[in-house]
Amino acid sequence: MAYQNVILEQVEPGIYRLTVNRPKALNALNSATLDEIGAAALEVGADPAARALILTGAGDKAFVAGADIVEMRDMTGVEGRAFSQRGMRAFRNLELLGVPTIAAVNGYCLGGGCELAMSCDWILASDRAVFGQPEVNLGVTPGFGGTQRLARLVGRARALELLTTGRNVKAEEAVRIGLAVRVVPADQLMDEALATARTIAAKGPVAVRLVKEAVQRGQDMDLDNACVLESEVFGLCFSTEDKAEGMGAFLEKRKAQFTGR
């Protein structure tokens, strides 16, 4: 698919990078951009050779500064609801992608931008990253999952403090509260994200996908059922060539060469 507002590239075999590309509007998310993010996630998901996806924003100022306020200004209630649902669909496509997703946050990560980053599996923050859910400044709530994903990530009290004050959080604090996993100097952000993606790409691909599936599905289950799920995916790994190769390579003291079969 040809995209106008995002750039989807395969930067190395199996490693995709999706860049939100509206730098003049600080990569704000309009309807077209939301649709393209959702479509790009499906496109990567359709590639069985995909191993990881890095999501970032164009330019050096913003990851994404939120949903597009110009587009939202004249929306009716019905249109606002549909806009929210559009974002929810796109972000859910991303969240359910079979391979790990890393948000490489290179600047302002506000409102819909923070919600987009939280739809990835984890956030790697540049030391210039600024996070926040400033929707209350505009007289609205978050609409792309912020009230739900932020509370799940950082806990109810911290989420409510951020959501009701609209306070911005710098990278170090984002790590401290569990929103981001690590801070790196801005000029090393993409190298770091790529290094992590390469590490993942060298592991057993079936196991990596099943780990993500187990964590994602398991977190909304009770512990007993979640542990049953883990036993199922663990057992499934034993039917793969990757398992034979991984354990064989360990015992033969050599590096495993996985095929994803």
Active site residues: 115, 135
Among 6, 37, 131, 135, binds ligand CAA (CB under 6 A): 135
- 180: which residues sit within 8 A by CB, 6+ positions away? 105, 122, 123, 124, 125, 129, 131, 171, 174
Contact between 1 and ligand CAA (CB under 6 A)? no
- Of 67-126, binders to ligand CAA (CB under 6 A) are 67-70, 87, 108, 110-112, 115
Burial 49-66 (b: 16+ CB within 10 A, else e): ebbbbbbbbbbeebbbbb
Measured CA to CA, the distance from residue 53 to residue 168 in angstroms comes to: 26
- x/- letters, 17..46, toward ligand CAA (CB under 6 A): --------xx-x------------------
Contact between 131 and ligand CAA (CB under 6 A)? no
| Amino acid in position 36 | E
Q: Could you tell me if 37 and 90 are in contact, meaning their C-beta atoms sit under 8 angstroms apart? A: yes
Q: Which is nearer to ligand CAA, 86 or 217 (CB)?
A: 86
- Minimum distance from residue 84 beta carbon to ligand CAA (Å): 6
* Residue pointed to by tokens 């100022």: 61
- Minimum distance from residue 64 beta carbon to ligand CAA (Å): 8
- Minimum distance from residue 168 beta carbon to ligand CAA (Å): 8
Range in contact with ligand CAA (rule: CB under 6 A) among 49-57, 62-70, 121-129, 253-261: 62-70
Binding residues for ligand CAA, total number by CB under 6 A: 22
Q: Which two three-digit tokens encode residue 70?
A: 């110009």
CA dihedral 125, 140, 146, 99 (to 10 degrees): -80
- Minimum distance from residue 146 beta carbon to ligand CAA (Å): 6
Q: Which is nearer to ligand CAA, 3 or 144 (CB)?
A: 144
Contacts with ligand CAA, residue ranges (CB under 6 A): 25-26, 28, 65-70, 87, 108, 110-112, 115, 134-135, 138, 142-144, 146
